[in-house]
Chain A
């Protein structure tokens, strides 16, 4: 049927003879050469130029055989499907998952090591480490006795839900445990990729600029908690803590902020409390 007006494509007859529809309009036209002395008998060839035979099925001249296909699909829909699967699995097993995001060098791994050391008596902790190359970070985590699995993204600048799903399959996660996912050091792309975590935790260190939340707003918008790390260095720096927090709250008024130092353990109790409160909420959910 023609998609322009709805007319059908019945059997075509020319001079009472059935004409087979063979030629589609997509094929190049062949012209007779002027030098040909043969008498031309077009009907003997029994070929028809059918402008309606192609995929658009339109008979009207001037309308392209190309057709429009509605998609209306989120570019990240595939990732979000994987993330939902991860979230379902984690929530079914009462696992509290955190996605730690920051620029490179903000002290994520040191913070993780100290967090594990402080909590490992009370909680079973597993770590998924994301880096472009090397398994140095996973090795540092394993030294604490916690289970760690390293994902090397190669050229990839972030972890995605599929990678994390594969990692979860490979490790034996305990029910009611804590899963820390250390994302690739990057303040841009990881903001967009839901991994199925309960919360994104953004780490900003005071050796960076206080205007980072405005420069990289998406990450601070996506996070639920901001850890302002390396606060032990504040006496040596010109970093304006109040301004940094003001900027962060401007991007995300619902952001919780904890000032912390992984080096001298300032602020660690508040951070550990936050983890344990979230973990309890996860575990009392009906399994």
Chain B
């Protein structure tokens, strides 16, 4: 819920700065390793944007695959979860390179 409210705040701030009054589409980038459940976010987005500038805006969620780098052997690999082990050296000390994003990417405005 508070994530959806944060999204709306970012949109409203941008509306003031960029002088637009209607929003058609909102693109979010949500990494598969972030702890956001897209369907829950969609539901909350519809609730918090009611009677706001983003009322009826379409929400497009771009999922980003997880990707990590092993801190021991520097091997880079796709990650399905934050507790995957390195397929090369079997170590769990993996730095997330991408896939933990929660970003407002862009808006289509009128």
Contact = CB atoms under 8 A, between A and B. Distances in A.
Contact of A72 (B6, B20, B105): B105
A134 B35 CA distance: 28
B107 A76 contact: no
A77 B101 CA distance: 12
Interface stretch (A31-39, A62-70, A119-127, A232-240): A62-70
Contacts of B85: 250
Contacts of B82: 217-218, 221, 251
Contacts of A269: none
A69 B14 contact: yes
A176 interface: no
Contact of A71 (B10, B93, B101): B10
A55 B102 CA distance: 29
B110 A55 contact: yes
Given A156-B2, A188-B35, A253-B92, A71 B83 contact: no
B28 interface: yes
Interface residues of A, number: 37
A79 interface: yes
A160 B2 contact: yes
A71 B14 contact: yes
Interface hub of B11, B83, B91, B101 (most chain A Cβ within 10 A): B83
Contact residues on B (Cβ < 8 Å of other chain), bracket: 20 to 34
A75 interface: yes
A194 B93 CA distance: 22
B109 interface: yes
Contacts of B14: 69, 71
Given A73-B10, A78-B9, A68 B108 contact: yes
A214 B24 CA distance: 39
A75 B3 contact: yes
Contacts of A66: 24, 108-110
A249 interface: yes
Interface in B38-78: none
A211 B10 CA distance: 37
Contacts of B18: 69
A50 to B, nearest CB: 16
A172 interface: no
**Which 6 residue pairs are nearest across A and B when measured between Cβ atoms?**
A253-B93, A75-B102, A218-B35, A251-B83, A71-B104, A69-B107
Interface of B: 1-3, 6-7, 9-11, 14, 18-20, 24, 28, 35, 81-83, 85, 91-93, 101-110
29 contacts: A55-B20, A67-B20, A67-B109, A67-B110, A68-B106, A68-B108, A68-B109, A69-B14, A69-B20, A69-B108, A69-B109, A71-B107, A72-B103, A72-B106, A73-B10, A73-B103, A74-B102, A75-B10, A75-B28, A76-B3, A78-B6, A78-B10, A155-B1, A188-B35, A192-B102, A218-B35, A253-B91, A253-B92, A253-B93
Given A68-B107, A72-B104, A217-B82, 15 more contacts: A26-B110, A67-B110, A68-B109, A70-B105, A71-B11, A74-B103, A75-B102, A75-B103, A75-B104, A78-B9, A78-B10, A155-B1, A192-B102, A214-B83, A253-B92
